[in-house]
Amino acid sequence: MSQICRRTMQPIESESGHRIAPTSADGVMQKPRVIQLFEAAKAERRPLQVCAPMVRYSKLPFRMLLRECDVDVTYTPMILAHEFIRSQVARDSDFTTCPAEREPTSDGRQHALIAQFAASNPEDFARAAELIAPWVDGVDLNCGCPQSWAIKEGIGCSLMEDPELVASLVRAAKASLGPGKSVSCKIRIHKDLSQTVRWVRVLEEAGVDFITVHGRTRSQRSSTPPDFAAIKSLKQSVCVPVLANGDIYAAEDVKRIVSMTGVDGVMAARGMLENPALFVGHDTTPVDCARRFLEHAVRYPIPFQLVLHHFAEMTVRMPSVTKKERQQLMDCRDLIDLIDFVEDKWRL
């Protein structure tokens, strides 16, 4: 992992005049940075804007791009806690960062980075949180992955059936990290919503800092509309901030979902892959946004197939990219080919 910048954070003032508290000289915040950002967004009368953790795709170059596109909080891909604490190879593969990721962007905005872990053992989760703490602002427990392998491993959605276990995981991570870092959970909903209401209250009592609710059950596919009424009920059941996740593809979706649910922020996944500038208000990915991603990919290398996948997603709705050009894009064999394609297409 790259070394983080040790510079003391200075007070930052938002456009509304809301001040984000500085880091103290010993590096300990009075509040987790994410909570400060929730408060700043509330003062600005807007929802916190978050990009979801996406396996393989929430890598450093994409996160660096999102910081420039009005995303307040980014996540790492989901990391298996037991692998992370046992293997240096796994740590180097799962997580990379750079000093710039800990700094405000050029417009003076602060951001937060959350590491998401899959775990079912409090000791594993606490140890993983402790190891990654110097490079992130908090950790998140994945309680929503519906894939069969995750259920078999006792992680993801399988945790929905054991609220007390999840509470013990939260308490262990909180004790390991202390007050300066956040501990959160990303969940789905039960068919019987009263179960989920009881669960989020248990999480709140355990000290969770905020909760992200994906408004689908463990068996529902992404083609099923999220249950925003359920998210509203859960928001009304707890005092901690709540993020709504599901079916956010445009700025209008953000306004509609916040109005329907009363949540403190929104989290987008697939919509961000197709259009990283979603929160800025663009309907499709601006050409300059795609160019900046390519610059980040050169500066912070990841496997070329991931770069190509990101680029293909970003350009899928660009009206200026023809079917023939899309095929040319997919035929690129390496980063040099892709750079040549971009230069020929847009003269960048």
No. of H helices and E strands in the chain? 15, 11
The answer to whether 264 and 38 have CB atoms below 8 angstroms apart is yes
Q: Which CA distances in Å does 79 have to 94, 268, 327?
A: 6, 19, 33
Catalytic residue selected from 98, 143, 145, 332: 145
The answer to whether 135 and 4 have CB atoms below 8 angstroms apart is yes
Active site residue 332: no
Q: Which CA distances in Å does 150 have to 80, 153, 224, 270?
A: 10, 5, 21, 21
What is the residue-wise DSSP string for 60-125?
HHHHHHHHTTT--EEEPPPEEHHHHHH-HHHHHHH----GGGGSPPTT----EEEEEEE-S-HHHH
Tell me, rounded to whole angstroms, the distance of Cα 181 from its chain centroid.
Answer: 15
Q: Catalytic site residues? A: 145
